[in-house]
Amino acid sequence: MDEQKINLWLGSNAKYFDATQIPILREKLKKASDEQYIAVQTQSYINPTVTTIISVLLGGLGIDRFMVGDIGMGVLKLLTGGLCGVLWLIDIFTISKKVKNKNFAQVSMLL
């Protein structure tokens, strides 16, 4: 894979991943075929910043967990009010990392 394409993709999508995952992504992209690169390039990713804002505003209803794909925990938060706010408070600080890990898993599956 062309180094310029890799730098361009990482430059525009680095916000979706943890800083420790960027070197791993770079190595995987170097080994990727053109078809795999196109698949990674056309994939949509969840924005961690937007998810954190939604977690602050609507986290007690489990909306943040539904966005991440964690349906079971989303239903639990919805029915219990975020376990009286405890899960809501925890998710405010952890949902961004969960989103970045989910985005990384999506890319890893494609590569």
Torsion angle of C-alpha atoms 102, 105, 109, 110, degrees rounded to 10: 70
Q: Is the pLDDT reported for residue 32 higher than 80?
A: yes
Could you tell me the CA-to-CA distances from 75 to 3, 89, 97 in Å, in that order? 44, 16, 20
pLDDT at 105: 95
Specify the 3-state DSSP secondary structure of 32.
coil
Task: Say how many domains are in the chain.
Answer: 1
On the question of pLDDT at 49 being above 90, the answer is yes
Domain membership of residue 100 as a residue range? 3-110
Whether the predicted pLDDT of 46 surpasses 80: yes
Locate tokens 């349906």: which residue?
A: 71
pLDDT(60) > 80: yes
Other C-beta atoms closer than 10 Å to the C-beta of 39 total 15
pLDDT of residue 83: 78
Q: Specify whether the CB–CB gap between 1 and 31 falls below 8 A.
A: yes
* CB environment 71-99: b (16+ within 10 A), e (fewer): eebbeebeeeebeeeebbeebeeebbebb
Question: Is residue 34 over pLDDT 90?
Answer: no
**82 pLDDT higher than 80:** no
Model pTM score: 0.86
